[in-house]
Amino acid sequence: MIHAKNVQGQKIKVSFSGEKAKCIDCGQDVRGHKGRMKIPYWQHLNKKDCDAWFEPITRWHIDWQNKFPKEFQEVSLIDPNTKEFHRADVRTNSGLVIEVQHSPIKPDEIEQRENFYGKNKLLWILNGESLLKHCRLNYRYEKKEMSLSFEIPHYLDKSPEFNFQAFNEYFLKSQALNKIRIHPDLLDFENQNGNYFLFHFNNSVSFESIKYELIYDARKILNILLNEKFHEDYLNEFKINYTDIPQDRFRNINLIKKYWRPFIDLMKHPVFIDNLEGIETDKIYFYQKNEIIDKDEFIKNIEKSWLAGYNKKHLL
């Protein structure tokens, strides 16, 4: 364990090897261990931890706990009926318990932990480097920074002669549309209901330039269709908008399960996998939803991350 209490009852970490303190849970004497290559931790003098679910501490384990305030780390919970207690790796103010798991765990213990901690809320964070070192995540990454839409009116209020179908036929052959379709940053485009075009770009592009070309071609087509009856005000009926989309997109996510750990599928609460081969270190994999999430966003919105997984029918 990484915390004990001093004579004032304060929650402390190891300052030097051989330091003495008391176990926060059982009150027994503990001794600090710390060295140049050693992860600082407290150990009971009888070398037997009072929490039956204790497992050796790792740097990865501590790094995850340190992402949360000290008061959230190693929080002891007691069953008022059985008096059984266990030390949660992390417990937030709302009661959400986060179990940070580095080593394999037996099915019986998974059930016990979920029954004990899951009375409120629980999620698992697994170390993919130690538990799933033969597995790999494959996906296609896209950074979608901009979407642009072009909407053709079905009719013009001041021009009953306007023929939408004829306009659409000309527009599908227009120079403006063809230039967009071969744009190097275009991801894809959709044509909805015949008159609504939506373009997705993976980088911010010159909106004003594209807007000018679309309006220019729309003016040319209206001049052909309406001849001398064309009026500049008609162009106001053509709607062109854009949206900046800063978030990353991950598509075709596929987890290659080689020497898979079956106990993971026994976990009924949301499972997030860190250090999984194939994804960046600043991302984490949401197993049940098959999603890649930015790690900072995951920590910032930890309650929402839990809800997103726990509301799935097969998790209830």
pLDDT in tens, the chain (316 residues): 888 888 888 888 888 888 898 988 888 888 988 887 778 888 888 878 888 788 888 899 999 999 999 899 999 888 888 888 899 999 998 899 999 999 999 999 999 999 998 777 899 999 999 999 999 999 877 666 788 999 999 988 888 889 999 999 999 999 999 999 999 889 888 888 888 999 988 777 888 899 999 999 999 999 999 987 888 889 999 999 988 766 566 778 899 999 999 999 999 999 999 999 999 899 999 999 999 998 998 998 888 888 777 654 444 3
> What is the reported pLDDT for 248?
60
pLDDT, residue 143, reads 66
CATH of 145-244 among 3.20.20, 3.30.70, 3.40.720, 3.40.50: 3.30.70
- Longest CA–CA span in the chain (Å) reads 98
* 131 vs 135: CA distance, rounded Å: 9
Residues constituting the chain: 316
Q: Can you give the pLDDT at residue 245?
A: 66
Strands (E), 174-278: 186-192, 196-201, 239-244, 248-256, 271-274
DSSP 3-state assignment of 238?
A: coil
The answer to whether the beta carbons of residues 185 and 203 sit under 8 Å apart is yes
Distances (CA, A) of 243 to 17, 181, 224: 57, 18, 31
CB 163 within 8 A of CB 291: no
**Domain residue ranges of the chain, discontinuous segments joined by +:** 1-50, 67-137+253-315, 145-244
Compute the distance between CA of residue 264 and CA of residue 248 in angstroms, rounded to an integer.
Answer: 27
Write the CB contacts of 117 (distance below 8 Å, at least 6 apart in sequence). Answer: 77, 86, 88, 97, 99
